[in-house]
Structure 1
Amino acid sequence: MDALFTEIIAIVGGQHLLVGDDVHARRDDWMQAAPCRARAIVRPADAEQLSRVMAACHRARQPVVTHGGLTGLVRGGVASPDELAISLERMNQIDAIDPISSTLTVQAGTPLQRVQEAAAEASMQFALDLGARGSCTIGGNIATNAGGVRVIRHGMMRDQVLGLEAVLADGTRVSSMNHMLKNNAGYDLKQLFIGSEGTLGIVTRAVLKLQPQQLAMQTAMVACETFSDLTALLQFVRKTLGDQLAAFEVMWHSHYALLTEESGRHAPPLATDAAFYVLIETLGNDQDTTAQRFEAAIETAFENGHINDAVIASANHQRERLWAIREDIEGLLCHLNPRFTFDISLPIPEMDHYVRTLEQQVIQRWPDGRVVVFGHLGDGNLHVTIATGNADDDTKLAVETLVYTPLAAMGGSVSAEHGIGLDKRRYLHVSRTPAEIALMHTLKKALDPHTLLNRHKVLPDAAP
């Protein structure tokens, strides 16, 4: 190890190999208070340094874990005492913006919010948006195929990436920095790394697709009495607002009431007696036209009986207050502690029965238990938080069984947008067939034969 550290210091400099207290002062999972336990943290300045570091680790058979913004929910960045953490925090530059081709080239350690701001300065916009925008990094967004609140309009992170560069386990740099929408010259290699959670390679740079800037924004929060009202509303706004519909975010009563009336963290913009609350947002080019179309849609939804209450934001600070209720994850976790969090996908028609059944099962087993639900309903993605009063391993296993087991029969997924990491790999079989898992193992063995990259993450240790 001393020889490896000497080699790494020669590459990145002594101040960029952190050991001892400098490592333990950091966390490698924002959900856990425990310090980082990695043997050391390496902070390369660019892809060339990372390539040389990985070549040295490959020769020494030293396993590594990649660190980005560390905002994940599945312990994907957790490092054990015999692993090195590779932090991309110094690789945080925007290399180029091309308004004509509508692309932005960026290093993997750059926070999402900086990319959004850089695009806006060029009168463009980057479509991906999520609550952790100030901390999460582009490399992490790519590695987990992040979703967020704009998926209903623009798709997942996979749909925003035209090209990327990655470093393999042996230090090989694979540059597929494509800038074109059309490129069918052989395999689309970037897809190997998008959503692979750093297990096949470490993303270092990316070419991102930009969209025309649309400043005419309209936001409303509405209340629905029944799930059938909710789904009818979704169909109605999809048809009426068309490609202007940018977000359709739903909070079950459990989420809305907890973060407003019960906790006092937010003033409730609507009464807290409805079953569902929806944030609807549109983006357009002309303020007057967009506003008229939006207000007409909300008014018609009233007349059709899809909603029974609504508030439309007339200024940006009002919009921010509405979104704060949806995005106050820290408040949610603070008031449900200890708790278990889940990020699942399932067909929209199955959601109401699924949530009701889950609530009943939790209460039957833990009378003081609580189930809190919100999510990107238009994308089939729900975020579920369950509190039972304790968080021991047996309780965790019991809760996970209640949440994940029903998904197999309905074609759902144990992970909608946060990945598998350490937490969900034992449940990968719920959403993937044995043949799919075997092929994943084949890819892993081909690209990382010594299992150095994010080992024990995503895949079960043995192929089916």
Structure 2
Amino acid sequence: MTTQLIESLTEIVGSKGILTGEDVSQRPDGWMNAPQCKAKAIIRPANTDELSAVMKLCHQNDQTVTTHGGMTGLVGGAITSEQDIVVSLERMRNIVEIDTQNRTLTTEAGVTLQTIQEAAEADDLFYPVDLGARGSATIGGNIVTNAGGNRVLRYGMTRDSVLGLEAVLADGTVISSMSKVIKNNTGYDLRQLFIGSEGTLGIVTRAVLRLRPKPRGEATALVAVERFSDLSKLLSLAEGGLSGGLSSFEVMWNDFYSLVTSFERHKAPLDANSPFYVILETQGKSDEAEQARLEELLGEALEQELISDAILTQSVSERDKIWAIRDDIEALFSLSPIHGFDISLPIPAMEGYLENLRTDLLARWPESRMIVFGHLGDGNLHVIIGKVSYDEKHELDETVYRGLAPLGGSISAEHCIGHEKKPYLHHSRSEAELALMRTIKQALDPKMLLNRGKIFD
């Protein structure tokens, strides 16, 4: 049956559209310690019609399908078994249209985020979603994981930039809702079913993205903060003082900042002797105007003793060097074995949660190291824990996640659930919510063929 199925799939996508054998096994199922792909084959359709035919055939044969995007996920959302086939949209990499009047970009799902950003910029427009994996992460992957990144504070998550989309269901049915309008109040918003669904409800093939006017200027500063309570005060001051122009408010705890700047590739812009460091970035009508506004804001913050030191960048290269500190995740590998956690919780609850977590970690793993940084402005923290064996990951996961529910927090702020976080979903979702999620899954994929074993069993 497998041989017949592979032959039939090859007839649909052609010899260029299918990989088998070593071409499959040499590919990883994700990033950073991900296992190698175990699937029977990787199917690479060239268009929506081919994918529809592929899914119809798989549905008829009860064949499970796992979707692969840019493979930058961190929660095991693309892990395969020997029974699976993989669908990859790596051949669907066309930007269909840029509508400059309506400020929209229509694209196939295999296009990378960076390509979309560059295409928008070429037409003097701006696609605001941004993250470190921009060069390899695909827009389809961004959509089905509802990617966040550095500018959520101002522009929202990926779902806030998707006006319409097209998806293929498990049985091959094509759902095409390629709307270009912001307001479309016509019953259920079907696109939202697929955004953040991790490929469990359908495979997104095309999307209409909302573009924004390209900012004419920007300014960036790095500041030192002495008290956690001053972080939220500084955030409020910046949001008001910059008149809605604040695009990033990135906080690095001292453990992160001092570790990263200890490497020769970085020179610490500010001495590493403060508890917190914040990257403030504003976008607006001109570099000069934003520089002036940010400089005035820093003066106010110093007067109110919200910050103890600051540096306002004067060039693109200075700005890039500051962001390079924030984005240098490779420095954390010096604490290997490391475990990354992507959580969110209300800002007032963060300090107590982290203090309790650090206490619990040191009591159980005295040699462990906890590193914290993240998008504090939108409640998202990245917690990296090093010097704990991979064999103890389940116990470590439970230690990190169990304190979130009482605080109204989430076990996943922007990396979704996948396979890794599935056992802990009950910390963030009620039984009624989980039951409704299963009902939706049953309605759209009754045979449970799409990304089986992801989000829930």
Q: TM-score range by the shorter chain?
A: over 0.9
Residue equivalent to 1:198: 199
Residue equivalent to 1:378: 377
Write the distance in 2 (CA, Å) between the matches of 1:33 and 1:341: 14
Residue equivalent to 2:217: 216
Write the distance in 2 (CA, Å) between the matches of 1:28 and 1:416: 22
* Paired AA for residue 130 in structure 1: L
Write the distance in 2 (CA, Å) between the matches of 1:233 and 1:340: 30
Identity of aligned residues (%): 52
> Helix, strand or coil: the match of 1:26?
coil
Do 2:76 and 2:418's aligned partners in 1 also have CA atoms closer than 8 Å? yes
Do 1:259 and 1:265's aligned partners in 2 also have CA atoms closer than 8 Å? no
> Helix, strand or coil: the match of 1:56?
helix
1:128-182 Cα offsets, whole Å, 9 max, x none, are 0111111111101100111111100011111000000000000111000011111
Residue equivalent to 1:112: 113
> Helix, strand or coil: the match of 1:243?
coil
Residue equivalent to 2:326: 326
Residue equivalent to 1:65: 66
Do 1:217 and 1:290's aligned partners in 2 also have CA atoms closer than 8 Å? yes
Write the distance in 2 (CA, Å) between the matches of 1:421 and 1:101: 35
| Worse-matched range after superposition: 18-27 or 199-208 | 18-27
| Worse-matched range after superposition: 7-16 or 368-377 | 7-16
Residue equivalent to 2:159: 158
Write the distance in 2 (CA, Å) between the matches of 1:213 and 1:351: 34
> Helix, strand or coil: the match of 2:77?
coil
401, 417, 422: which one aligns with 1:420 = 417
Residue 447 (1) aligns with residue 448 (2) = no
1:83-104 Cα offsets, whole Å, 9 max, x none, are 1111111111110001111100
Residue equivalent to 2:338: 339
Residue equivalent to 1:355: 354
> Helix, strand or coil: the match of 2:404?
helix
1:239-268 Cα offsets, whole Å, 9 max, x none, are 11121100000111111111112x434221
* Paired AA for residue 338 in structure 1: P
Residue 402 (1) aligns with residue 396 (2) = no
Superposed, 1:179-198 pairs within 5 Å as 179-198=180-199
Write the distance in 2 (CA, Å) between the matches of 1:207 and 1:396: 39
> Helix, strand or coil: the match of 2:244?
helix
Task: Compute the TM-score of the two structures, normalised by the length of structure 2.
Answer: 0.98
- Structure 2 residues not aligned, in runs of 5+: none
Do 1:141 and 1:157's aligned partners in 2 also have CA atoms closer than 8 Å? yes
* Paired AA for residue 86 in structure 1: V
1:74-124 Cα offsets, whole Å, 9 max, x none, are 010111111111111111111000111110001101100010001101111
Write the distance in 2 (CA, Å) between the matches of 1:355 and 1:44: 46
Write the distance in 1 (CA, Å) between the matches of 2:265 and 2:371: 16
Residue equivalent to 2:387: 388
Shift of 1:19: 0.9
Write the distance in 2 (CA, Å) between the matches of 1:226 and 1:182: 43
Write the distance in 1 (CA, Å) between the matches of 2:108 and 2:117: 14
> Helix, strand or coil: the match of 2:241?
helix
Residue equivalent to 1:24: 25
Shift of 1:204: 0.3
Write the distance in 2 (CA, Å) between the matches of 1:134 and 1:206: 19
Shift of 1:287: 2.5
> Helix, strand or coil: the match of 1:269?
coil
Residue equivalent to 2:179: 178
Write the distance in 1 (CA, Å) between the matches of 2:132 and 2:58: 35
Write the distance in 1 (CA, Å) between the matches of 2:42 and 2:266: 39
Residue equivalent to 2:433: 436
Superposed, 1:261-276 pairs within 5 Å as 261=262, 263-276=263-276
Residue 80 (1) aligns with residue 81 (2) = yes
Do 2:217 and 2:285's aligned partners in 1 also have CA atoms closer than 8 Å? yes
Write the distance in 1 (CA, Å) between the matches of 2:78 and 2:162: 22
Residue equivalent to 2:54: 53
Change (3 A) 1:115 1:450: same
Residue 294 (1) aligns with residue 291 (2) = no
> Helix, strand or coil: the match of 1:242?
coil
Shift of 1:288: 2.1
* Paired AA for residue 413 in structure 2: A
Superposed, 1:113-152 pairs within 5 Å as 113-152=114-153
1:34-69 Cα offsets, whole Å, 9 max, x none, are 321111111111111111111111111110111111
1:295-334 Cα offsets, whole Å, 9 max, x none, are 11012111111111111111111111100111112332x2
* Paired AA for residue 372 in structure 1: I
**CA root-mean-square deviation:** 1.0
Shift of 1:33: 5.0
Residue 8 (1) aligns with residue 27 (2) = no
> Helix, strand or coil: the match of 1:220?
strand
Do 2:347 and 2:379's aligned partners in 1 also have CA atoms closer than 8 Å? yes
Do 1:200 and 1:453's aligned partners in 2 also have CA atoms closer than 8 Å? yes
Write the distance in 2 (CA, Å) between the matches of 1:197 and 1:344: 18
Do 1:422 and 1:458's aligned partners in 2 also have CA atoms closer than 8 Å? yes
- Structure 1 residues not aligned, in runs of 5+: none
1:377-407 Cα offsets, whole Å, 9 max, x none, are 0000001111134110xx2122111110111
Shift of 1:183: 1.1
Write the distance in 1 (CA, Å) between the matches of 2:359 and 2:342: 19
Do 2:107 and 2:206's aligned partners in 1 also have CA atoms closer than 8 Å? yes
Write the distance in 2 (CA, Å) between the matches of 1:122 and 1:18: 37
Runs of 4+ in 1 over 3 A off after TM superposition: none
Do 2:336 and 2:387's aligned partners in 1 also have CA atoms closer than 8 Å? no
Do 2:234 and 2:306's aligned partners in 1 also have CA atoms closer than 8 Å? yes
Write the distance in 1 (CA, Å) between the matches of 2:331 and 2:12: 42
